[in-house]
Amino acid sequence: MQKRSKILLFVIIAMLFGCNSSDGQITSKPYKALLHTLYKKDVPLIGCDKAQALKGAVFLDTRAPAEYQVSHIAKARWVGYEEFSLDRIKDIPKDTPLVVYCSVGVRSEQIGKKMIDAGYTRVYNLYGSIFEWVNQDKPIVDSKGQPTQKVHAYSPVWGIWLQKGEKVYE
């Protein structure tokens, strides 16, 4: 089955069975199955609580500029996906803990793999990425550094996985 077909199948399952949980965490089997299918596991995964507690961690946002402008994890540094270049992180020591994220973790995994290949030794992909972060009631900020509930949900198809916050598609 092609990757696109698998994604569509999981989206349909999620719509049929829902993906809400009482505690806001992504506990739905369809979403976990989707992430399991999407992740290549080239980059170690890290949960939101562990990432938040990771001493000295630098969060790197691998989404498009418009997504980052809507909101991002506080103090996260934008590095982009299509625009990504190792030059954007050359000032970061290679043993610094780096937590990469995007919407659900696919783009960030690809960028994280490039970092590992370049010699960065402590790169982690945020499991479920910013969608899971918000679903777990973790704080995000807007382009001015002010707390917000707005989250760029990428597209209505992907936005179904964002259970909290205010979805933005512009």
> What are the chain's domains?
41-157+164-168 (3.40.250.10)
| pLDDT reported for residue 4 | 57
Count other Cβ atoms within 10 Å, centred on residue 56.
9
Q: What is the pLDDT of residue 143?
A: 97
Task: Quote the pLDDT of residue 33.
Answer: 86
Residue 135: CA count within 13 A, CB half-sphere? 27
Closest CA to 140 of 152, 128, 123: 152
Look at residue 24 in the predicted model and tell me its pLDDT.
Answer: 39
* Predicted local confidence at residue 152, as pLDDT: 98
pTM metric for this prediction: 0.85
pLDDT of residue 31: 76
β-strands 140-141, 72-73 pairing: antiparallel
Sort 47 into a burial class: Cβ within 10 Å, 0-12 / 13-18 / 19+.
Answer: middle
Q: How far is CA 43 from CA 13, 24, 112, in A?
A: 27, 25, 6
Which positions of the chain have pLDDT values less than 50? 15-26
pLDDT at residue 41 in the model: 94
pLDDT at residue 30, rounded to an integer: 80
Strands 72-73 and 150-152: unpaired
What's the pLDDT at 106?
97
Residue 101: per-residue pLDDT = 98
How many angstroms separate the CA atoms of 39 and 132, rounded? 15
Per-residue pLDDT tens digits for 66-115 = 999 999 999 999 999 999 999 999 999 999 999 999 999 999 999 999 99
